[in-house]
Amino acid sequence: MLRIIGRIVYETLLLMKKSLEPGMTTLELDVIGQKNLEKYQANSAPKVTYDFPGYTCISVNEEAAHGIPSSRQILAGDVVNIDVSAELDGYFGDTGGTFLVPPVDPRMAYLCQSTRKALRRAMSVAKHGAKINLIGKAIEQTARKSGFVTLRDLSSHGVGRSLHEEPHSIPNYFDRHDQRSLKEGQVITIEPFLSTGAQETQTESDGWTLTTGKGNFSAQYEHTMVITKGKPLIMTAL
């Protein structure tokens, strides 16, 4: 069931990525995601869990996360983050990615490349018996080596039978005081947030959108996975 909903949300993410083009609004992009989820009778997780005013979260440029789909037009050169999570028959999948609208700024391409590298390195340490803080350590080290920082108030989390569950708050940085360990069979997300300068977000007046300030950019990539004694099993894949 985790593989089924994982495949649905990942397919939806890729479909939205393929549909992304200058001139369209974030609401039009959200409708594409909505229709694909409905095709599988899957329910938007942020909508059913938190009454979020959209089917997916679409965040542009200075927006880091939880952007509300609206009449905002996507422009050439924009940095667009799409986060898709959904529920089917009591199981949840959660995925996300950051995509660049041509013409592509080389620094933004490097930011995205570094964030994907942080995700891979974090996944490589996520196994049964490992300390949870090794995930944040891998993400933070990758960010620093690339000349970026991490958004410290956004984190990975447990998922599976609800959108957010234990282990809550898996930081994007190394917390030496966190003594929790991963266990075989746990279902978690890993979602590094790398930023060009800001380390925290602010909540906009709409109560949802998290921004990092004018001129700052961030990137996020996310998979849902099951912890094993070896490599984690990725649920958000085709």
If phi > 0 it is left, if psi is from -120 to 50 it is alpha, else beta; for residue 215 that is left
Beta strands in 117-235 (DSSP E): 149-150, 155-158, 165-171, 187-190, 193-195, 202-203, 210-211, 218-220, 223-226, 233-234
What pLDDT, in 10s, does the model give residues 105-155? Answer: 999 999 999 999 999 999 999 999 999 999 999 999 999 999 999 999 999
Give the whole-angstrom CA distance, residue 47 versus residue 149: 30
Residue among 35, 26, 100, 90 nearest 58 (CA): 26
Report the CATH architecture of 2-234: Alpha-Beta Complex (3.90)
Q: Would you give the distance in Å from CA 88 to the centre of its chain?
A: 19
Task: Show me where the domains of the chain are located.
Answer: 2-234
Q: Is 84 exposed, middle or buried (0-12, 13-18, 19+ CB in 10 A)?
A: buried
**Each residue's pLDDT tens digit, 72-113:** 999 999 999 999 999 999 999 999 999 999 999 999 999 999
